[in-house]
A and B are shown apart, each in its own frame.
Chain A
C-alpha cells in the first residue's frame, strides 16, 4: 500500500474537475497502474462544492483517499484551499491557480488543464504522456487552446 499515490481535486461543479481527474487517470492507466477514481455528482453539479479522488499504484483498495493522506491537492480556486487543506498529508503538495499567471489564459475555461500543467512539474510523467491524455479526453477543436494552457501552468 505504500506505493499508492493520492491526488485530490477540489472545486465547484462546472469548473472541469472531473475532466482533469479523467486526464490524470488516463495517464496512469496507460502506464499499467491499478487506478481508482472516486467522485460524487448529482445535486452537486448545480454549482456546489465537489471533490474528486484519483488513486494509483500497484494495488489500490478503497476508491476514496483517507483524510490527511493526499500527496497532491489541486484546487480550482483559492477559496477551495481552506475547506480542503485537511486532506493533504504533511509535506504534501498544494497546486493552485496562483502558481502561475492565470490572467494569461486565452480561455478561462482551460484553468483546469493549466493546473494539470502545474501539477505535472511535480510528477514524473512526460509532457507527451500528459498531452496525449488531454487529446484523448477533449474534442479536437479544444486541443490547441488546452495545450497552451497546459504549458502556461507548467511554466514553459
Chain B
C-alpha cells in the first residue's frame, strides 16, 4: 500500500482509479466537467478513445464488458440522455466484465444547458450509483464501482459534479489490480433482449437491487460523523463536506452509495435524532425516497433545489431560512476569442437577418452581444431538426430566413441524422445548414473527433470523416466551402443564393480554431498539451 500523497482533481483521481482497477478501455464523449477523466487516463498509459457521441461510447463500453473485461465510460450529465437507450437495457442484460459509467452533473450550470440530476437515472434504470465527495473518494469509489459491477454483473454509475471533478484534494493511492484477459463466452438469453428473454432479465435486475440494498445497509460506504441526538443530517457527495463544515455539532450520515439507498440504515439514523434533514444538491432525491419509506425528515425549502450548495447555503437550509439570498455580482461573461473565425460567420448571419437555430459549442456565445444572432439552442444536434420544423410551418418569407448553425464536432455527434431527415422530409423552401468547421471540439478544450482525422492522443487516426463528402453522399443538393475570414464576400453570396433557392444547401465555413493552431504547434514541438 502506497503512502504517497498527491494533489489531484476528481477527474484525475477517477483516471488513476481506473488504471489501478485494470480497466482495459476508457471511452467517452467530451463534456464539461467530465472531459479530463479520459485525457488523464490516456496520459497515465490507459487505452482511451473519444467516440462520436455518448450513445456510441456506452455501446463500445458494453462490448468491452460483454467480452469479460473492464471498461470506463465517461460523459457529462446531458450525455447520459444521449446514451439513455443502451443504458436502460444494459441494466437488464447485465455485464460480465466491470462497467463503470462516470457521469458528471453540473449543478448551477457553470457550463451546461440544464442542471438535471443524474440520480434520477439510477432509480429509473435500476442501476447502482456511487457518489464521491472529494478526489480520495473518487479514486476509491472508481475501484469499488468495478468490484460491485462484477459482483452483481451490472453497470455502476459514478456520479460526479463540477466541484468534485475540478477541485483538487489530496489522494493517497492504493494497490493495483490485475484483471482477466478479455474472452467471449456465449450467453444468448442474457444478451439478446427479445421480450421472452427480457422479462426474466427485468425480474433478475430487481432481485439484484434488493441484494445490493442489503449490502449497502451493512457494508456500504456510508460513514456516520458525530453523536448528537438533537440534529441529524443525511447528505451525499460534496454537500457532505459543506455540511461537516457548516454544522460541526450535528450527527451526519454521509451516503456514498446513493442508489439503491441503504434505507434501513437511514431509518435507524433518523430514529437516533430528534430532528432530521436531508442536505443534497439538486432534486430532493434522497428526501423523497426516505419520505416514501416512512422516514420523518424535515422537508427542504424549494429554493435550495436550484444551483450549487455551499457552506453558507447549508447553514440556511438547516435554519429553514427562506429569505432572499444575496445575488452575487455579475462578472464579465465569456466571449468569442479575438480573431475567432466564428465571429466573422455570425457577422454575415446577422447582416442577412437570419433566424438562426443554433447548437452547442463556443459559437453558442454568439447569443450574447455584440452578435445576438442565435435564436434557439436546446441540445447537441438540435439546430438541424428545429430548423427543419420551422421551415415546414413558417410562412415562406420567414421560412427562407431559417438557417441551422452547427459546429463540426457537434455535427459528428448528432448532426448526421438531421441531414438524413432533411433529405427525406424536404421542406418546400429547401433548407440551409451552416457547419462552422474549426477543426476541433473547442468548447470543452480542443478535443479531436472523427472529422479531425486524429485520435484522443492527437495522433493520426489514418482516416478523416469528410463533412463535404458525407453531406454529398447523403443527398444534399449543394455543398459550398468558404473561409469565413478570407472569403466573406463568397460566404455572403452563397448564403443569399441558398436562402433564395429551394435547394438543400450545406455551407461549410472552414477555418481552424486559433487556440487549436497554438496547441497543435506545441504538440509538434513535443511540449505537453492537454
Contact = CB atoms under 8 A, between A and B. Distances in A.
Contact of B311 (A13, A26, A50, A66): A66
Interface string A92-122: 0000000000000000000000000000000
A63 B168 CA distance: 8
A86 B331 CA distance: 13
B454 to A, nearest CB: 21
A58 interface: no
Interface string B235-247: 0001001101110
Query: Size class of A's contact patch?
Result: 35 or more
Interface of A: 1, 12-13, 25-26, 29, 34-50, 60-64, 66-67, 82-84, 86, 139
Contact of B167 (A12, A36, A66): A36
Contacts of A62: 238, 241-242, 244-246, 310-311
Contacts of B162: 40
A131 B162 CA distance: 31
19 contacts: A1-B245, A13-B334, A29-B5, A36-B169, A40-B111, A41-B32, A43-B443, A45-B334, A46-B365, A48-B332, A48-B334, A61-B242, A61-B245, A62-B310, A63-B167, A64-B311, A66-B312, A83-B329, A86-B328
B33 interface: yes
Contact of B111 (A35, A43, A63, A84): A43
Q: Label chain B's interface by main secondary structure.
A: loop
B331 A83 contact: yes
A139 B526 CA distance: 13
Given A40-B162, A63-B134, A64-B163, 13 more contacts: A35-B168, A36-B167, A36-B169, A37-B168, A38-B167, A42-B111, A42-B443, A46-B336, A49-B333, A61-B245, A62-B242, A64-B311, A66-B245
Query: Size class of B's contact patch?
Result: 35 or more
Contacts of A48: 331-335
Interface in B24-60: 32-33
A25 B169 CA distance: 10
B7 interface: yes
Contacts of A38: 163, 166-167
Contact of B444 (A42, A49, A67): A42
Contacts of A45: 334, 445
B331 A43 contact: no
B84 interface: no
A61 B225 CA distance: 13
A37 B7 contact: yes
Interface in B164-192: 166-170
B517 interface: no
A86 B163 contact: no
B482 interface: no
A29 B170 contact: yes
B166 to A, nearest CB: 6
B168 A25 contact: yes
A35 B7 CA distance: 8
A79 B167 CA distance: 26
B351 interface: no
Contacts of B311: 62, 64, 66
A1 B110 CA distance: 28
A38 B9 CA distance: 9
B241 A1 contact: no
Interface of B: 5, 7, 32-33, 110-111, 134, 162-163, 166-170, 238, 241-242, 244-246, 248, 310-312, 328-337, 362, 365, 443-445, 527
A50 B331 CA distance: 8
A12 B332 contact: yes
A27 to B, nearest CB: 11
Given A13-B334, A63-B134, A44 B110 contact: yes
B441 to A, nearest CB: 13
Contacts of B336: 46
Nearest to A39: B166
A47 B5 contact: no
A147 to B, nearest CB: 21
Contacts of B33: 42
A86 B329 contact: yes
A61 B244 CA distance: 7
A18 to B, nearest CB: 10
A105 B169 CA distance: 33
A63 B312 CA distance: 13
A62 B311 CA distance: 7
Contacts of B365: 43, 46
B312 A36 contact: no
Nearest to B445: A45
Contact of B332 (A35, A47, A66, A139): A47
Contacts of B7: 25-26, 29, 35, 37
Among A40, A48, A50, max chain B CB count under 10 A is at A40
Contacts of A1: 245, 248
